[in-house]
Amino acid sequence: MRLLAERTGRHCLLLPSNRLGLYLALRHWTTPGQRLLMSPISADEILFLVLAAGLRPVIAPVSPRDGNIDASRVDLSEVDAVLTTNLYGLPDQVTTFSGKILIEDVAHAMETTVDGRPLGTFGQAGVFSLSKHPGAGSGGVLAVPDLADLRALERERDRLLEPGNLRAELFAVATSMARQAALRLDLVRPALRLMRALGMQEEREGYRIALNADALELALKQAPALPPLDAWVRADLHDYRARRGRVARWYQGRRLAKVPADRARRLAGVRLLAGLPTVAGAVHDHLDQPLFRVPLLVDDRDAAIAALESRGVATGYLYDPPYDDYASAFVVASPDPGPARHWCRHVLPVDPGYARRALPVLRTLRPPS
């Protein structure tokens, strides 16, 4: 956690997950009933966290260049707060949201800067993930500028935490280590087959978990409250509120310390992938950023994913359909959902660390017609 405290110059609170940190930040700085501007492209649990906080999600139009909120087409006077996404590490237009409550989800953007300033330092809170760039399997960090806020958030964290389990913790660390070894040793294909055979991948409808609108409506009658929405928020991380012990903290610290050393490899991969005709336009604006993933926009994504897996390159972090279509009854719809639908249907996020291994497949892909 020291690395993030030094990078941001903020007080940092260690958490079992990024998603718990987002909920804590939303509850601390917003009031139930307020309107929160957010992107339609993000993980399922983020929407459910916003609903659990008692907020009204206002879905923003997104830019065709980066899949983030298109601030030029948003009337900020109609919302009370903003939640950024920084999709795949491409930065949101954070400087345009001044004057609003701003919560930064920097799960994908631990290494991204804007005008030389790290993301996670522009808003009231920045919430990092230790399972993304560091690859620690779980863990989050909430960074805030004021010590009094940190203490209040710490108390609320402790109230929501559930008891940890040493056996589950050891299994989670071992699983994460095995995943990292599979990536290094080109064992992605057998690892994926084993996970599917053992039922270790969460059941989903496409790339989203089942919404179950009637049950969700009942749970929301208790909002603002997080536990009633556990069934949706936990998604693929069922212990997202479980207290972590020394083994997990040791592993998270070890993985986090490796992030700066991986910077050069990521930068090289970003620049290599930026030469492809399918790369998202905004990538060319951020060749100096070690992105979490490089988004390509391709015609037949499913075929591309299968071809990449055959070369030992796993694809993840796909969000289809956008929130407007996925949960229309629970959000204020975007005035222009077209670009978000296009991104959700065609985006192919590629880990820049494995750019060379993926290139033989990526060079054959066509942009969407």
Residue pLDDT tens, the chain, 369 long: 789 999 999 999 999 999 999 999 999 999 999 999 999 999 999 999 999 999 999 999 999 999 999 999 999 999 999 999 999 999 999 999 999 999 999 999 999 999 999 999 999 999 999 999 999 989 999 999 999 999 999 999 999 999 998 888 888 888 878 777 766 666 666 655 555 554 555 666 678 988 999 999 999 999 999 999 999 999 888 899 999 999 999 999 999 999 999 999 999 999 999 999 999 999 999 999 999 999 999 999 999 999 999 888 989 999 999 999 999 999 999 999 999 999 999 999 999 999 999 999 999 999 998
Residue 195's pLDDT is 52
Q: What is the pLDDT of residue 201?
A: 58
Domains within the chain, CATH numbers bracketed: 1-262 (3.40.640.10), 263-362 (3.90.1150.10)
Q: How far is CA 28 from CA 5, 157, 192, 368, in A?
A: 20, 11, 39, 42
Report the distance separating Cα 157 and Cα 243, nearest Å. 10
Q: What are the residues whose beta carbons fall under 8 Å from the beta carbon of 131, sequence distance 6 or more?
A: 17, 18, 137, 138, 139
59 CA to centre of own chain: 17
Question: What's the pLDDT at 23?
Answer: 98
Which residues face 128 on adjacent strands?
141
